[in-house]
Amino acid sequence: MPARTAAVPVISRWAAISPYGVDPAAFRDGLAAARSTIRALPAELRGDSPMAEGGWVPDFDVQALLGRKGTRSFDRFTAFSVATMGLVLADAGPGLAAADPEALGIVLGTGHGSVKTQMDFTRETLVSAKPYHVDVASIPVSGLNAAAGMSAIRHTVQGPNVTVSGGALTGLLALNYAVRLLRRRHADAIIVGAVEEYSPHRAWLEHHSRANSDRQAPGPLGEGCAVLLVESSEERAVAHGRRSLAGVLASRFTAFATPDEAPEAVARAVGAALDAAGVAPPMVDLVVPADCGGTLGAAEDFGLRKALGGHAPREVRLRALIGDTSAASAAFQLTAAVLNGGAVRLALVTSVDPGGTAGATLLARPDAGS
């Protein structure tokens, strides 16, 4: 890992509930085999939506994972979050939250929260005899920050609790926010990630948002939750019986006003991340792009080629395998980069959003040389 004057935050554990299944190992194995999860949607998820296929989580039963107590009001979105954080805490070993609950925080990314819960609640206010004749149990899980709050309550996490919403870049923005919390000593460890659920409501929103635009190619939607345990330093992780899977070297973000400016924005973000980490493009062994297709997908690829100066690292592309996971896409990309560590010295994760933002995060294998 390139030498730094300050401790480099490290990723020491990960977990994912994905279209491959509720077991994180299923995500690892499915990704290694490059197996697609795009298949016909079950009736309860498809509803009246315009999409017939997607990457959906099979056999997901929140009460089987978390028990009946306190989970009756959980929607699919909240359940993904709570269950995935439970998996990463279990893998981290006993006592992470219990020993010093204020030293552990949560930074969770989302697009809108649960679109289904919010729309169902709004519909009830319109069709009920009285506007206040609504299901009050849905109120606690209808807010944007509900999943992060419910996860903290369930797992006794009393440190910083933050919800981030930033489109396709959400996972990168959440990781960057977590790193800032760690460096300012607001916490010693952060569970950071992002979540998205499939529902007919979200499918219709995506359908209409893309109807008159070629900036992001239409395609099957995906769902799930990916989280990483990020600690303040490798020394802390080792002291608590965990090993560093990757160091978080740098994240940089840029903005663009028109599609024509997107390639340059991607190139600037990548170049700034490399410069901040003090590394040269030929050192990058792996790239995990957003791969959103359309104008933005072409812009991302062009910007990467420009920033890397002709260097062509190995690539991992997730969208064709698990669908468009929207706000959770960058979190799954980061997880894929960690899982593909192996002989990788440096891994670059990039994303670009139709709203006019581009971002890049650079990860390093723990023993990568300067």
Q: What is the pLDDT of residues 97-113, one digit of tens each?
A: 777 889 999 999 998 77
Asked if the model's pLDDT at residue 1 lies above 50, the reply is no
% of residues, the chain, pLDDT over 90: 66
Which residue's structure tokens are 């919403």?
165
In terms of phi and psi (left: phi > 0; alpha: psi -120 to 50; beta: otherwise), the region of 203 is alpha
181 belongs to a structural domain: yes
In a shared domain, residues 231 and 94: yes
5 belongs to a structural domain: no
pTM of the predicted structure, to 2 decimals:
0.92
Residue 334 phi, psi (nearest 5)? -60, -45
Q: If you average pLDDT over residues 75-88, what whole number do you get?
A: 92
% of residues, the chain, pLDDT over 70: 89
Asked if the model's pLDDT at residue 170 lies above 50, the reply is yes
Task: Give 130 or 214, the one with higher predicted confidence.
Answer: 130
Domains in the chain, number: 2
29 belongs to a structural domain: yes
End-of-domain residue from the set 174, 205, 239: 239
Q: If you average pLDDT over residues 154-183, what whole number do you get?
A: 96
In a shared domain, residues 253 and 174: no
Question: What value does the mean pLDDT of the chain take?
Answer: 89
Is residue 358 within 8 A of residue 254, CB to CB? The reply is yes
* Range of the structural domain that residue 177 is part of: 10-239
User: Over the range 296-306, which residues count as b (16 or more CB within 10 Å of their CB) and which as e?
Assistant: bbbbbbebbbb
Asked if the model's pLDDT at residue 25 lies above 50, the reply is yes
Q: If you average pLDDT over residues 203-225, what whole number do you get?
A: 78
The string of pLDDT tens digits covering residues 304-344 is 999 999 899 999 999 999 999 999 999 999 999 999 866 67
347 belongs to a structural domain: yes
- Which pLDDT value is given to residue 219? 83
Q: If you average pLDDT over residues 203-218, what whole number do you get?
A: 71
- Which pLDDT value is given to residue 137? 66
- In this structure, the number of other CB atoms found within 10 A of the CB of residue 47 comes to 14
Poorest-confidence range of 15-19, 61-65, 257-261, 313-317?
61-65
- What is the biggest distance separating any 2 CA atoms in the chain, rounded to whole angstroms? 68
234 belongs to a structural domain: yes
Is residue 56 within 8 A of residue 340, CB to CB? The reply is no
3-state secondary structure of 139: coil
Query: What is the gyration radius of the CA atoms in the chain, in angstroms?
Result: 20
3 belongs to a structural domain: no
Asked if the model's pLDDT at residue 119 lies above 70, the reply is no
353 belongs to a structural domain: yes
- Which pLDDT value is given to residue 214? 59
Q: What is the CATH number of the domain that holds 98?
A: 3.40.47.10
